[in-house]
């Protein structure tokens, strides 16, 4: 064989080896893609690793490896894999989008937003990315921008029900509940089985005081997904707003069947029981909430109210103190703590508690009035009259303050 012939043979061997390697890489890649379809995400990662051992410069393989890792909940590793794809192909907008989704799962919303913006700079016609961008803006509480992002998605695909849903969420957060309902209706016209839209539609109706319609909407959500404990909870709130406390309690019980750790439901259940005069049961419900979340000051407060209704003022004050240790700015707790002290005849301490409440909310005419009553009971009629005057400046029609002012005035004249 001459020199030229040897070179040709060597080249053919190299080409043949390269072809075999390429075929092997393709087999591992296709296997990984099939494993993703079958839900074998661990297997998919292993297959993509085999493909990358042959060709580490394949952006598609790095991207799909990231998808498999994302499915496994390994978001940090998924991001690293997407980054590898983007080093190879910086214009791979799908990788920028999925990188944003993974960052959002890690609650890194600002970084997620930046990643979505990179994707949209490459392909501004991807309605999924606009919608995902809206999700990140929701978490950042930028609702006007979220609305604009949803509108961008819908301009591209008016039939994308998730964008209509997200638009409704943005409008609800902006206090535009009627517009939000119209947006939820658009989502439901496209996908009537989207239970989240039925649930949020119910919330918006509740904000408008349309409680019966709200319940109907929650019932629609629950017909599709009976395990939606938040829909059961929100349904209970609407029933309570209608004064249907027994039905509300049954609905709270449903929510708690699906999520026994839902401390807000235990608390609200306690409030409904209190409204029925079932104070002991209410306290037991508040205690359940506090076992789950001892820092939940609203439950400490509501527990105090129930104890007061049972005439257990000392215990009620201890419970108010728990609420105030967590939230010292909770003026209702200071006010009702004052009432408890008043009922125990501890007028000086009651006045101090009312003063705390009024330092936070000086427009609470009932606190000014009760302060005046406590001062009258101490024989401090001038100070009492000044306190009644404060109450009447805020609410001139508050008859108890007018009446007790005249009594204090008469008592003051007798003192003189």
How far is 393 from 365, CA to CA, in rounded Å? Answer: 8
In the numeric block, which tokens belong to residue 311?
């005439």
Local confidence band at 21 (pLDDT 50, 70, 90 cut-offs) = confident
Q: What's the confidence (pLDDT) of residue 416?
A: 65
Please check whether residue 327 is in contact with residue 321, taking contact to mean a CB–CB distance below 8 angstroms: no
Q: Is the pLDDT of residue 151 over 50?
A: yes
Question: Is the pLDDT score of 279 beyond 50?
Answer: yes
Among all chains, which residue has been given the structure tokens 């909407």?
Answer: 217
Instruction: State pLDDT tens for residues 182-208.
Output: 999 999 999 999 999 999 999 999 999
Question: Cα(358)–Cα(3) distance, rounded to whole angstroms?
Answer: 102
Instruction: Give the tens place of pLDDT for each residue, 308-348.
Output: 999 999 999 999 999 999 999 999 999 999 999 999 999 99
Q: What is the domain partition of the chain in residue ranges? A: 19-123, 328-416
Split at pLDDT 50, 70, 90, the class of 22 is confident
Q: Per-residue pLDDT averaged across 235-255, rounded?
A: 98
Arch. (CATH architecture) of 19-123: Alpha Horseshoe (1.25)
415: confidence class by pLDDT, cuts 50, 70, 90: confident
**pTM of the entire predicted model:** 0.85
- Is the distance from CB of 305 to CB of 336 less than 8 angstroms? yes
Predicted local distance difference test score (pLDDT) of residue 14 = 53
Rounded to whole angstroms, the Cα distance separating 364 from 287 reads 29
Residue 18, pLDDT > 80, answer: no
The helix/strand/coil state of 197 is: helix
| pLDDT for 24 beyond 70 | yes
Sign of CA dihedral 23, 29, 32, 38: negative
Residue 87: CB partners within 8 Å, gap ≥ 6?
Answer: none
Confidence of residue 7 (pLDDT cuts 50, 70, 90): low
pLDDT at 66 over 70: yes
Q: What is the pLDDT of residue 150?
A: 98
- Tell me whether the CATH fold assigned to 19-123 matches the one assigned to 328-416: yes
pLDDT at 1 over 60: no
Q: Angle at Cα 178 formed by Cα 197 and Cα 140, nearest 5°? A: 65
Task: Return the closest-CA partner of residue 129 out of 149, 109, 102, 106.
Answer: 149
On average, the pLDDT of the chain sits at 95
CATH 1.25.40.10 holds for 328-416: yes
User: Residue 344: which of 372, 383, 318, 379 has the closest Cα?
Assistant: 318
> What is the structure's pLDDT at 13?
44
Instruction: Give the pLDDT of residue 9.
Output: 47
């Amino acid at each position: 064989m001459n020199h030229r012939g040897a070179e040709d043979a060597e080249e053919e061997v190299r080409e043949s080896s390269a072809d075999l390697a390429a075929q092997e890489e393709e087999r591992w890649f296709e296997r990984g893609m099939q494993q993703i379809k079958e839900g074998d995400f661990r297997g998919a990662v292993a297959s993509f690793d085999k493909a990358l051992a042959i060709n580490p410069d394949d952006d598609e393989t790095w991207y799909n490896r990231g998808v498999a890792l994302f499915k496994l909940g390994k978001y940090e590793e998924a991001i690293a894999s997407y980054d590898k794809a983007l080093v190879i192909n910086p214009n791979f907008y799908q990788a920028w989008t999925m990188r944003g989704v993974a960052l959002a799962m890690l609650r890194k919303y600002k970084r997620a937003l930046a990643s979505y913006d990179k994707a949209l700079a490459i392909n501004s016609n991807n309605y999924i990315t606009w919608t995902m961008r809206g999700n990140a803006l929701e978490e950042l509480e930028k609702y006007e921008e979220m609305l604009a992002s949803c509108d961008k998605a819908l301009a591209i695909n008016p039939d994308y029900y998730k964008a209509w849903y997200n638009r409704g969420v943005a409008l609800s957060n902006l206090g535009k509940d009627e517009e939000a309902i119209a947006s939820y209706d658009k989502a439901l016209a496209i996908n009537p089985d989207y239970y989240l839209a039925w649930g949020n539609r119910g919330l918006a109706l509740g904000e408008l005081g349309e409680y019966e319609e709200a319940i109907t909407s929650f019932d629609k959500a629950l017909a599709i997904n009976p395990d939606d404990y938040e829909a059961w909870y929100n349904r209970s709130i609407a029933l309570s707003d209608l004064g249907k406390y027994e039905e509300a309690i049954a609905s709270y019980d449903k929510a708690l069947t699906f999520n026994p750790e839902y401390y807000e439901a235990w608390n609200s259940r306690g409030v409904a029981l209190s409204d029925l005069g079932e104070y002991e049961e209410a306290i037991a419900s508040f205690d359940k909430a506090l076992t789950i979340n001892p820092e939940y000051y609203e439950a400490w407060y509501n527990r105090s109210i129930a104890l007061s209704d049972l005439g257990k003022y000392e215990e009620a004050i201890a419970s108010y103190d728990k609420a105030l240790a967590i939230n010292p700015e909770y003026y209702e707790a200071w006010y009702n703590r004052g009432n408890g002290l008043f009922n125990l005849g501890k007028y000086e301490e009651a006045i101090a508690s009312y003063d705390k409440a009024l330092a936070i909310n000086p427009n609470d005419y009932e606190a000014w009035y009760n302060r005046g009553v406590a001062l009258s009971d101490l024989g401090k009629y001038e100070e009492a009259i000044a306190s009644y005057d404060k109450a009447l400046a805020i609410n001139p029609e508050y008859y108890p303050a007018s009446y007790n002012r005249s009594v204090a005035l008469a008592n003051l004249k007798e003192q003189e």
